[in-house]
Structure 1
Amino acid sequence: MNADVGAWFAQLQRRGAISGCRGLLLISGDRDWCYQQLHALIAATERAEENVAILSNHALAGIPPAPAKTLLGQERSLIVADAWTSLSFDDWLAAAGTLRAGGLFCLLCPPPAVWPAAFLSLAKDRGYRLQAPNFISRFIAVAQQLKEALWWQQGSELPPCPEFSGHWQPTLPSTGQQQAIAAIERVVNGRAWRPLVIRSDRGRGKTAALGIAAAQLLLAGRCRRIVLCAARADAVTTAFKHAAAAAGVEEPSSPTLRLNGAELCFCSVQDLMDGAVQCDLLMVDEAAMLPVSLLHDCLQRYPRLVYATTVHGYEGSGRGFDIRFTSILEAERPQWRRQYLTEPLRWSAEDPLEAALNRLFLLDADSGVAEPEGGMSVQAVSPQALLEDENRLRAVFGLLVEAHYRTRPQDLQYLLDLPGRLFIAESNGRVIGVCHVLLEGGMSPALAEAISCARRRPRGHLVAQGLTNQWGEPRFVQQQSWRINRIAVAAGHRRRGVGRALLKRVDASAQKAQVAFLSSSFGAEAGLLDFWRHCEFLPVSLGHRRDSASGEYSAIVVRAIAAELDAEFLQYRDQFCRDSPLQLLDKKSLRVDVLERLLLSEAVSESASQQAMPPYALLPGDPQVVRRYLDGEVSQLDALPALWRLCSRLPLQTLQWPQLEREAGLRRVLLGHSWGEISQALGLDGRAEVESVSQRFFARLLAVVSNSDDQPN
């Protein structure tokens, strides 16, 4: 049998290389039997150490496991995912993208009848708390229906080697790449302020096209400095490799390529946020992974600009970029251009593996929502109901993909398996809104105490553990709470009350379930903070590091369900505002519009709990100190403590005041920007004008305080 396996794989490789196809084989049976068959596959692979990647927690057939991230930018003939030990579907799919034509993705798995139970047991051993193995149950059912998926079960014959059709002849660069390169050159050679957006599925050569275009522009003397921005330097290795090849030079060892006195260099997202990047052309790879606020800043700052993003990617979808950023482009740069890359490079358009993975992981899910029509209903839906309605599942997941910064394949498993609740809004039978809630808390007193002392950190319970750790209150992980993990509304239905209707239903269900509080954690953007404030949630925490998905600092908002938490949450909110001047010392790049929303002292709600919020944190002598500063009697440094306290709470009408004044005042006092930094950022003429503009803001703020009856005695 082993000889047959080797011959089978050799034949698949030959046929696949000719037709540009890759295969999917599920070897299903006892673990030892699965490993035995794998040995034969690996033995039939030339230079197995270089061409085989193992996704497992241990070596297989003498080949050590490889972290999926280390595989990106490489090509393999055989990818082996060990479902007996590997739980990361993101890693499976990222590795699948490195398979060359003629390659095989081999999944070692238990028999279908016992796989769900085995998966549940493995997840429990790894510290995950799953409600049910719904994801694996669906995976098995779909895989058994797919003609592209080959099953080899213990006790049965090896399936016939697939007959791939067609003759594949890759052309490099592809037609799509050539068009993208020409479009990039037009950005440089044509009129300024006409940005280009390149959209691509995974494996279409987008990053390579950026590198080739950069090399051609440098060699032609059209640019002195081109900057390529990405989340990580290793994510754009392909661009530098192809740039060097196009220029006929050796690939650089560092992310900088110098040609004829000009250069292509890498910059980090943080460099871009700091505003220190100077270039003739800025190219942003995987732009969907960056905060919309930063993309907007780039739009204002760089006259020649290229955004590139993956639409359906194995590491996560960037379709949310289209929804969230296209409207900004239309409004501010109506002559922006778009280029699509649809033609695969390393495999054919008829590749069975890509088709199979799209079905198994809903990589191409689409919400299918059109323009608003009809009424709306909101209901709770169980994971089991979703499993029984594939079209509804695709619509739900497609909407989450479209609305979020980054939706990964693993998120589908979380949606189906984690303990939680799902609420959907529908109109005329179409899903127009989704709210996914995760259950948190319910821990034992001993574990809760260990968490509050930072001795334990179990998986999950993101907000409950964060509040317990921050405030030293064990009961937040003992009480039952609900965290809103995702809330998404179809683009054509936004600002029509759908999100609030979903949260109203969540609130009612939480009260019925006697939940203590609701919470959410998200990348803090002004629009999102406005939404949560309108829904009567209080910001009580801001993370110290930027969120990996949104690129923003993570905010935590809470809403009390249990009456006894009303006053307590207000106290924590008050403390958050009082502490903000010191907490913001390491957040100089925080956007002012975000800062304002975090510190608003008035809520939209007229509830008693919201009214109880003390609006200001001034000491008795602070107003006089601020007045003396405004009159020129003391310096700003002398008045800074009083200005800190003055700015730590902002009245709602602050948002109606001139933006230039707000920016100057808050950048200086709370974000610690220098006079020069503020002058440059706001286009003001040195310190004198910055101080004059900021003083108008402080004067407005002081007037509100002086007219308030809520000042502390």
Structure 2
Amino acid sequence: MSTTAINAFLRELKHLGWRCPILIKGDQPFRFQVAQDIIAQQAWSNGITPDTFSNTNKHIQAYLGQEVDYVWFDNQQFLDIDVMCALVGSIKHGGALILTLADDFIEQDTTSVNSLPHPYNQQKNFYSVYFARLWQLTSKTAGCIIQNQQMLQINPVPQLPQTAFVQPSGLTQDQLALVEKLKKPKTNGHYFIKADRGRGKSTVLAAIVAEYVKTNTQVVITAPAKRCLTTFYYWLKQWQVDLAKVCFVAPDQLTQLLDKASLINQVLIVDEAAALPSQLLKSICHQFKSVIYATTEQGYEGSGKGLSQHFIKQLAQSKQLQQIHQLTLPIRWALNDPLETWLNRVCLPNEATNANAIQSEQITFAIVKPCEQQHDVWADIFALLSQAHYRTTPSDLKHMLDSPALKTCIGQNNRGQIVAAMLLSTEGALEHDLITQVVFGKRRPNGHLIPQIIAAQSGITEFAQLKGLRVVRIAVVESLRRQNIATKMLKWLESNSPDTDYIASSFAANAEVSNFWIKNKFTLARVSTTAEHHSGLFSSVYIKLLNQHNQAILDQVAQQGLRQLNFYLASHYQNVDSALIWLWLGQFEHNNISYNFDLVAGFAHHSTNLYAALPDLNAYCRATARLIRQQLDQRQQHILAEVVLKQRGLNQVAVQNQLTGQKQLVKYLRALIKQLLQQMESV
């Protein structure tokens, strides 16, 4: 089939500085021949072909930050939505994203079978609502090319620029102005650079760092992974910057360096900040006099807007936020690029239409079933979840639409606006033989996170036989938060899940989120013994029974979790926020904890020294965690946890809390214990 019309259209797009998606559907010989003809006639020499990837995206970092003429995926060889979204940013103007698709790519999708939950991953293929939606939206989006064995469709672009596109050869005026502002900030504090893909963010970061290095300023840079900094390091090498003065530290390792006083005089740069949890950013940012955050809020590292919704607002409220800068003009292609428009509409719907939703008298909840016709509904749901969660990725939309184990619950007001959303995963009800294999480490069935954790890490196999729902994501539009809508949605779910034994959630723990689940009467079942690599935070599992006949099983799970928590307080959990530690301990009844009351009282009244009383003080504090949370302020709780629970050195605790030394610290602790004992007597 002739590709003359396609090539003419592509030449016009190149003149205008644009790119486009090309979808070719048919049997393999046909679709490959059409793709190869287009590549040859366009004289594209630098591209990514279906042979580049096998079944994984492990080589993706080799292409990030590079410029290519085209990226070509075939659905029967390798097509990963996250990888596709990542590599689209590498396509330069005049290039294209080529998707070659089998005739039955919608009806017999195989691209996500391996990631489906057990037992659905034993199927060979399944119907894809996501791909049906993709095909329909592509047919209606300007600048897209669709070719099959019967017809060719080229969607015209309604408004064409009047002048040809010229790609900048150096830093643009906007970039230079931003470098000038940030190379030597007038005020120490927090600065943000926001930009979509292809806006030159990495180049600006490199230019800023180059200026700092000239003044012998030590720079610490962190990112979710070092591969995110490919373009950044490319420009540093081009400009011959002394890399010895630029130190990369992984996020989880950075939290371990916070006690080093030398960090105070260094500049911290956080790239891809939106892909990191706000709690982690809080813990690291205040240790540096200047912090520059750079981020996109959509793309391969995460589509979440939690950074804007939470962390930036908190900095502004505390008067620590200095400036937010935006890079809006693309560098690699012209404005209004058809490929970028298509990508944002089909794969990354990120703008919620109901951001300013007004509270209605009644919000109704329902489980919504995937449907390729409901474009706006699913765009709103995905956008809402993206804005509330930092780790939402493009492929999450495909899982939401295609996975038979996922359910989506929405809350709508009287005007039909989606004001809340909750993504649920059906888990558990595992066969006895499979559970045994999980316990012995022989199997890790997809899609059963909570049963697998409990069976393998707690040794309680009965729990994996129960049928549960895991809350994967839950979000409410910003204007309606703190009105108990999320709580009402959970209660609705409890009332409308007759065949479910429990509801659970697993997340990177911080005090605010943990408190939400505790207030909704969820029980802490387990805290991980290893911090998450990307965040430095520990995962926690919370469970609420819907079938009270299983209370004995949950009690057993919770007690095992408490034993592990108590055992690791002074080792694994030394860097956990003290407020979170007390929150964890305060959830449990500690009637079975024994301690020598005379030693505790003796310490409070100066007759017993700290180290003689410390084992019993530890037991006493764990047994009275709820009282401690009620009676002591944040600083008092922190100091008590540091010495008694985490068993840190006295000199270290004294210095960190502005006390003169061990003597004053011990005196302070005696007063706290005395206060608690007096409160117990008055109850």
TM-score where L is the length of structure 1: 0.85
Indicate the RMSD between aligned Cα atoms, in angstroms.
3.1
Aligned residue for 1:562? 547
| 1:399 and 2:369 correspond | no
Percentage of matched positions with identical amino acids: 22
Aligned residue for 1:265? 247
Aligned residue for 2:447? 460
Deviation string, structure 1 residues 592-650 (Cα, Å, up to 9, x no partner): 1222221113xxxxxxxxxxx5334422x433333344455555444443333333355
Aligned residue for 2:72? 80
| 1:118 and 2:111 correspond | no
Instruction: Give 3-state SS (helix, strand or coil) of 1:118's partner.
Output: coil
CA 1:174–1:311 in 2, change beyond 3 Å: closer, same or farther? farther
CA distance in 1, matches of 2:58, 2:39: 15
1:294-373 equivalences in 2 (<5 Å): 294-333=280-319, 336-370=322-356, 372-373=358-359
Contact in 1 for aligned 2:354/2:477 (Cα 8 Å): no
Contact in 1 for aligned 2:654/2:661 (Cα 8 Å): yes
Aligned residue for 1:291? 277
| 1:140 and 2:115 correspond | no
CA distance in 2, matches of 1:179, 1:383: 49
Contact in 2 for aligned 1:176/1:340 (Cα 8 Å): no
What's the CA shift for 1:133? Answer: 2.3
CA distance in 2, matches of 1:314, 1:125: 20
1:533-572 equivalences in 2 (<5 Å): 533-547=518-532, 551-572=536-557
CA 1:638–1:178 in 2, change beyond 3 Å: closer, same or farther? same
CA distance in 2, matches of 1:616, 1:302: 44
Instruction: Give 3-state SS (helix, strand or coil) of 1:115's partner.
Output: coil
Aligned residue for 1:95? 87
1:127-206 equivalences in 2 (<5 Å): 128=117, 129=120, 133-156=128-151, 166-171=163-168, 172-185=170-183, 188-193=184-189, 195-206=190-201
Aligned residue for 1:409? 394
Aligned residue for 2:59? 67
**Equivalent residue in structure 1 for 2:47, among 45, 48, 51:** 51
CA distance in 2, matches of 1:198, 1:446: 52
Greater shift in the superposed pair: 337-346 or 76-85: 76-85
What's the CA shift for 1:271? Answer: 3.7
Aligned residue for 1:439? 426
What's the CA shift for 1:456? Answer: 0.7
Greater shift in the superposed pair: 442-451 or 74-83: 442-451
CA 1:175–1:683 in 2, change beyond 3 Å: closer, same or farther? farther
Q: Which amino acid aligns with 1:109?
A: L
| 1:673 and 2:648 correspond | yes
What's the CA shift for 1:367? Answer: 4.3
Contact in 2 for aligned 1:481/1:516 (Cα 8 Å): yes
| 1:686 and 2:661 correspond | yes
CA 1:706–1:646 in 2, change beyond 3 Å: closer, same or farther? farther
CA 1:463–1:173 in 2, change beyond 3 Å: closer, same or farther? same
Instruction: Give 3-state SS (helix, strand or coil) of 1:344's partner.
Output: coil
Aligned residue for 2:576? 590
Contact in 2 for aligned 1:313/1:363 (Cα 8 Å): no
CA distance in 1, matches of 2:423, 2:453: 20
What's the CA shift for 1:104? Answer: 1.7
What's the CA shift for 1:559? Answer: 0.3
**Equivalent residue in structure 1 for 2:220, among 227, 235, 238:** 227
CA distance in 1, matches of 2:604, 2:656: 23
Contact in 2 for aligned 1:481/1:517 (Cα 8 Å): yes
Contact in 1 for aligned 2:252/2:534 (Cα 8 Å): no
CA distance in 2, matches of 1:617, 1:203: 60
Contact in 2 for aligned 1:97/1:314 (Cα 8 Å): no
Aligned residue for 1:664? 639
| Structure 2 segments unaligned to the other structure (5+ residues) | none
Q: Which amino acid aligns with 1:191?
A: T
Instruction: Give 3-state SS (helix, strand or coil) of 2:21's partner.
Output: strand
Aligned residue for 1:34? 31
Q: Which amino acid aligns with 1:267?
A: V
Q: Which amino acid aligns with 2:179?
A: I
Instruction: Give 3-state SS (helix, strand or coil) of 1:544's partner.
Output: coil
CA 1:14–1:638 in 2, change beyond 3 Å: closer, same or farther? farther
CA 1:404–1:638 in 2, change beyond 3 Å: closer, same or farther? same
What's the CA shift for 1:521? Answer: 0.6
Aligned residue for 1:524? 509
What's the CA shift for 1:116? Answer: 2.2
What's the CA shift for 1:410? Answer: 0.8
Instruction: Give 3-state SS (helix, strand or coil) of 2:529's partner.
Output: strand
TM-score where L is the length of structure 2: 0.89
| 1:213 and 2:195 correspond | no
| 1:489 and 2:463 correspond | no
Deviation string, structure 1 residues 381-420 (Cα, Å, up to 9, x no partner): 3223x54332222222111111112211111112222223
Contact in 2 for aligned 1:150/1:159 (Cα 8 Å): yes
Q: Which amino acid aligns with 1:467?
A: I
CA 1:14–1:257 in 2, change beyond 3 Å: closer, same or farther? farther
Contact in 1 for aligned 2:531/2:537 (Cα 8 Å): yes
Contact in 2 for aligned 1:12/1:162 (Cα 8 Å): no
CA distance in 2, matches of 1:402, 1:534: 23
| Structure 1 segments unaligned to the other structure (5+ residues) | 602-612, 709-713
Contact in 1 for aligned 2:48/2:68 (Cα 8 Å): yes
CA distance in 2, matches of 1:123, 1:397: 19
CA 1:318–1:518 in 2, change beyond 3 Å: closer, same or farther? closer
CA 1:284–1:473 in 2, change beyond 3 Å: closer, same or farther? same
CA 1:148–1:689 in 2, change beyond 3 Å: closer, same or farther? farther
Instruction: Give 3-state SS (helix, strand or coil) of 1:117's partner.
Output: coil
CA distance in 2, matches of 1:154, 1:545: 54
Q: Which amino acid aligns with 2:453?
A: G
| 1:18 and 2:15 correspond | yes
Contact in 2 for aligned 1:578/1:645 (Cα 8 Å): no
| 1:105 and 2:97 correspond | yes
CA distance in 1, matches of 2:598, 2:372: 65
Contact in 2 for aligned 1:309/1:318 (Cα 8 Å): no
CA 1:81–1:202 in 2, change beyond 3 Å: closer, same or farther? same
Contact in 2 for aligned 1:320/1:405 (Cα 8 Å): yes
Greater shift in the superposed pair: 273-282 or 122-131: 122-131
CA distance in 1, matches of 2:307, 2:114: 37
Q: Which amino acid aligns with 1:316?
A: G
What's the CA shift for 1:696? Answer: 3.8
**Equivalent residue in structure 2 for 1:641, among 615, 620, 635:** 615
CA distance in 2, matches of 1:143, 1:88: 18
What's the CA shift for 1:355? Answer: 0.6
CA distance in 2, matches of 1:572, 1:695: 35
